[in-house]
Structure 1
């Protein structure tokens, strides 16, 4: 075919597509917004701090602003009444999260309670969390583990301070929060004297860091489908590699728990009191595996358990604990109240043996 004719056909198709989009947008009565570039939309108008750009758009165009991010329609607002309308009155319309490439590859096809679209599967996963994992009794059963990890943390920091060595709070608090979460979720300690071993600990830390990075990555392929075909930086390839590592790691943990459960079943029978105690000592994976299903099958398959382990509980809980602890230590450093008074107040509030240890020292 003549190259000139091919170019004319291509330009005509692009012009027709842009005109159709423009007419369709006029029929939809969209909110006001900044002018958009062809293909890219408003992506080129966003800086490395997009929240500041959104605030600037709201100041210029009004409380509700329409944005076109590549092929994705979006709105932004800074008005409390509009936010209330979105989060309360129109909650079901906006409840589902976008199906990004990272969520598909790293969250088992958006199959967990945090990223699953609103529907029967999301309601089922949420019911499992609220009725079996996050009950008051279940969380209180791990209080001894939390106190033990707090004591280890304080002992380590105290020993470092006595020797005059600096303490890297990012590393120490990261290990502390990691141990708290993994003992509750997986029944394992990855840092300290009773850790599962340096090899497994480093593997777990490496996988977690890769997950944090890729799940927080703004990937252009989510907004421009043609970018996925090019993928010049190999982001999707990296996601597939991490997906395989994460799946193998989680499957190994599930197999270990299944094997341990079979050993317990084949052992000596327990009396009623012993059975109750064993239920109290179960971690989250044990609980998920023990839920009864239909026809003698397990209530949840391995993919559902792995999705629930990964994004919904592990990453969110770990991130929340780490940043909360870092903020608390920062406030302690800025506080003018004597530390001994603060420790006494903490002891009365939490009855923490680690605080008592520090006071005695």
Structure 2
């Protein structure tokens, strides 16, 4: 009996010591570990997901005004940190770039991008490096862009001829359809050696609709991505739509791929991008590209290469229709530098600072990817004195940075002049100035940054120089946004154009 009492006393003492030591250790750890960034509490189970609404970039920008530049949200079972100022973006995309160099798993990567076998969603590693290297060397890099200058010139010539025909018929030009048709053919000539659309019509418009659907669905905050245990239920129907769209894209890409392989003998000595990729499927690290990797790369180049640039150009033209004085000043600059007897050439752009300012202002106010493509932390880290756990998703609110009154004077105004003098004159959109990062920054900056800037400046400059622009009679300009991976206009821009150059300037 005495032994039992002794044992009970010892066990009780041990339990008390365990609880005290556990409490002390927990308290010490709590004191030594910085707090999570501030953020909204959210709802039980689903967290902050319902707070994002239909325009997440706007909702997150409003939250940042309350919670600060680095904000933490519990999204289902996942954590997400949002950077909303240039300094916060720099901390994640420059200082901690390597730690945030991967993408989180998501339905878009799985169902649209061949289970992340592409360049956009691939893990940072040998396969991603090989895909990026081949794309830069033969399509997206500086030398490659120079090599296909003539392709852009010819395809843009076809486009302005079609616009002249619409002008003669007094028909409005639907800007995004026209741009997608021209850009898809430019990219097709480089990748496949031929135009993918012979005429503008139902086939090219269907492709445009597919690209917009891809960018829209890939931009959704899908509940299944944040609560994996219920992903199979597909509560929003997003994954069903993605699977259907993937089948359509895969059929198109497979057809392109097979036709290209069947005509390889015709291109001996004059290879296109796909020929070069096929010939360099292996790298020194033992990585080999599969046919699926290559189809996924084609999907990246065609979708991102057309939709992001065309949306910026469309927003730019809409802003000039809203502000005719900007269009007038652009015309005056171009008439002085180029005249009206020939088309604008890419070599003219460096002599057109106001055109370049218009493009920068569009990148600022209407970034093509309002929330930079998500990244995820490989290890726990600290930012601004806050603790960021491992596997935390990162969103950089590029849209909010572009409209931050602490960074930009009168940010809601479209004022290209802000880039002509003063502190903003040397700001560049290529990822080094975090006040203006329309393509992101760091290791995972958009691979097509150079191409995007060239296409926007050259195509927008040509459209402005070649035509006078006006809205159809009785039509009001709608400037509402439609959220997606790329920021579209809710109502596509349709405008009346009238040629302003000598007739010989429109001959291809």
| TM bracket, shorter-chain basis | 0.7 to 0.9
Q: How does 1:28-47 map to 2 (within 5 A)?
A: 29-47=35-53
Number of equivalences: 318
1:304 and 2:298 correspond: no
1:165 to 1:235, Cα distance in 2 relative to 1, 3 A:
closer
Paired with 1:134 and 1:177, the residues of 2 have a C-alpha distance of 14
Judge conservation of contact 1:289–1:299 (CA < 8 Å) in 2: no
Residue of structure 2 equivalent to 1:231: 234
1:91 to 1:191, Cα distance in 2 relative to 1, 3 A:
same
Q: How does 1:217-296 map to 2 (within 5 A)?
A: 217-262=220-265, 275=269, 278-279=270-271, 282=272, 284-291=273-280, 293=282
| Post-superposition offset of 1:337 | 3.6
Higher relative strand content: 2
Unpaired runs of at least 5, structure 1? 1-22, 266-274
| Post-superposition offset of 1:205 | 4.1
1:189 and 2:195 correspond: yes
Residue of structure 2 equivalent to 1:167: 173
Residue of structure 2 equivalent to 1:113: 119
Judge conservation of contact 1:133–1:287 (CA < 8 Å) in 2: no
| Post-superposition offset of 1:247 | 2.1
Higher RCO (Cα < 8 Å, 6 or more apart): 2
Match of 2:310 among 322, 341, 347: 322
Paired with 2:59 and 2:208, the residues of 1 have a C-alpha distance of 34
Cα offsets for 1:12-70 (capped at 9, x unmatched): xxxxxxxxxxx9x9677322322243211122333333334333433333443221011
| Post-superposition offset of 1:260 | 0.9
Match of 1:83 among 89, 103, 118: 89
1:176 and 2:182 correspond: yes
Q: What is the aligned-residue RMSD (CA, Å)?
A: 3.4
Unpaired runs of at least 5, structure 2? 1-25, 349-461, 467-498, 504-508
Match of 1:336 among 306, 323, 328: 328
1:96 and 2:102 correspond: yes
Judge conservation of contact 1:33–1:65 (CA < 8 Å) in 2: yes
Paired with 1:203 and 1:165, the residues of 2 have a C-alpha distance of 21
1:89 to 1:34, Cα distance in 2 relative to 1, 3 A:
same
TM-score by length of 1: 0.75
Higher relative helix content: 1
Judge conservation of contact 1:105–1:239 (CA < 8 Å) in 2: yes
Residue of structure 1 equivalent to 2:440: none
| Post-superposition offset of 1:91 | 0.4
Paired residue secondary structure (1:336): helix
Paired residue secondary structure (2:129): helix
| Post-superposition offset of 1:145 | 2.1
Match of 2:156 among 128, 150, 153: 150
Judge conservation of contact 2:127–2:288 (CA < 8 Å) in 1: no
Judge conservation of contact 1:190–1:200 (CA < 8 Å) in 2: no
